[in-house]
Amino acid sequence: MDIIIYHNPACGTSRNTLALIRHAGIEPQVIDYLKTPPDRTLVRQLAARMGRTIRDLLRENGTPFAELGLNDPKLGDEALLDAIEAHPVLLNRPIVVTPTGVRLCRPCEQVLDLLPEGPLAPFTKEDGEVVIDAAGRRVAQ
């Protein structure tokens, strides 16, 4: 299965998502989107494939969101894409692309909906939260 993850190695959610993909036995194409940001056309396509707006993909915490006035609801997609292009950290992460769909995987467990079904060994996040229990069941979040 071909999988792409738009990843930020400094983000715990992104690291946990990547670990879950690998835990399922899949080695994804990892794109550090801060070093190799997707262009505006791709961001637009990813949002459309997710059924989300460009605004839905913005990250506020730890970004220049407020300083740039991006909370202004009058700003259209082009202005938001300009901001993401100038400041890739504004793009929320991780975004995972698979043949079965595209998703902003926050929380990281959402990636399980994009992976092939099958039994998985237990998995615990970096913070100790159990995602897959000893019986191979997804723990309800």
Full-model pTM: 0.93
Could you tell me if residue 111 is inside a domain? yes
How many distinct structural domains can be found in the chain? Answer: 1
Closest to 37 measured CA to CA, from 90, 77, 102, 101: 90
Residue at 137 is within a domain? no
Q: Would residue 11 show up in a list of annotated catalytic residues for this protein?
A: yes
Give the CATH number, domain containing residue 82: 3.40.30.10
Residue 11, domain member (yes or no): yes
pLDDT of residue 141: 62
- Asked if the structure places residue 90 within a domain, the reply is yes
Q: What is the pLDDT of residue 136?
A: 86
What's the CA angle centered on 31, arms 107 and 80, to 5 degrees?
70
User: How confident is the prediction along the chain (141 residues), in pLDDT tens digits per residue?
Assistant: 799 999 999 999 999 999 999 999 999 999 999 999 999 999 999 999 999 999 999 999 999 999 999 999 999 999 999 999 999 999 999 999 999 999 999 999 999 999 988 788 999 999 999 999 998 888 866
- Is 81 a member of any domain? yes
Q: Which of 11, 24, 95, 108 is catalytic?
A: 11
**Closest C-alpha to 13, from 137, 117, 129:** 129
Cα separation, 121 vs 19, whole angstroms = 13
State phi, psi for 115 to the nearest 5 degrees: -95, 160
- CA dist 105 and 88 (Å) reads 17
